[in-house]
Amino acid sequence: MNRVPVQSSNLKEVGYEEKKISLEIEFNEVAVYKHLDFPETIHAELMSAASQGKFFSSQIKGVYRYAKV
């Protein structure tokens, strides 16, 4: 999966794989997590959010299944 850098104090890179409906997020100095069954529309909202870290915390964290990569 190709990830792109984002401007966030919490997130480093974000990638989305349409065929597998999954989102990968690399956190600054922590780890990479893949969120499963992840809607493309929410990925688009994340990428256009004024604060991707805040969007992650309020709209993604604890809502979608994930696994550490």
pTM of the model: 0.84
Mind listing the pLDDT tens digit for each residue in 35-51?
A: 999 999 999 999 999 99
Q: Which are the contacts of 38, defined by CB distance < 8 A and separation ≥ 6? A: 16, 21, 22, 23, 64
Q: Provide the number of structural domains found in the chain.
A: 1
**What is the SS3 assignment for 46?**
helix
Helices and strands in the chain: count of H runs, count of E runs: 2, 5
| Confidence at 57, pLDDT banded by 50, 70, 90 | very high
| Confidence at 33, pLDDT banded by 50, 70, 90 | very high
pLDDT score at 30: 81
**How buried is 42 (Cβ within 10 angstroms: 0-12 exposed, 13-18 middle, 19+ buried)?**
middle
Mind listing the pLDDT tens digit for each residue in 3-31?
A: 999 999 999 999 999 999 999 999 998 89
Rounded mean pLDDT, 49-65: 95
Tokens matching residue 57: 């915390």
Structural domain harbouring 49 = 3-68
